[in-house]
Amino acid sequence: MTIVTIESDSEEHTQLLLKYAEGLGLPAKTDGHRVLTAADMVSGIGRKATDAELTEYLLKSEDSESIDISDVFAKYKE
């Protein structure tokens, strides 16, 4: 069995792809994919995030500036 993932921002294109797959006799379904936010990561999204969603979220922060942990702790030391 092969599973193919196709990303589409167009509902019309998604429906056409589903009809095409069904016309070929292939089972087809859509799964919700959303762009995760920091709030989603903190509070959860009500389900397990897909690998694609997690990868997309984690790759967004690659260009972010890191914070040194000693600087963070220094703020809270007496």
Examine the domain organization and report whether 19 and 37 are in the same domain.
no
Examine the domain organization and report whether 69 and 46 are in the same domain.
yes
pLDDT given for residue 33 in this prediction = 67
Alpha helical stretches, state H, the chain? 11-23, 38-43, 51-60, 69-76
The fraction of the chain above a pLDDT of 70, given in percent, is: 91
Instruction: Evaluate if residue 5 carries a pLDDT over 80.
Output: no
Q: How many domains does the chain have?
A: 2
- The answer to whether the pTM exceeds 0.75 is no
Convert the pLDDT of each residue in 10-48 to its tens digit.
Answer: 889 888 988 998 999 999 888 766 777 888 877 887 778
Give which of 28, 10, 6 is closest to 19, Cα–Cα.
28
Confidence of residue 78 (pLDDT cuts 50, 70, 90): low
Tokens of 68: 């040194």
Cα 5 → chain centroid: 13
Examine the domain organization and report whether 40 and 76 are in the same domain.
yes
Mean pLDDT (the chain) is: 81
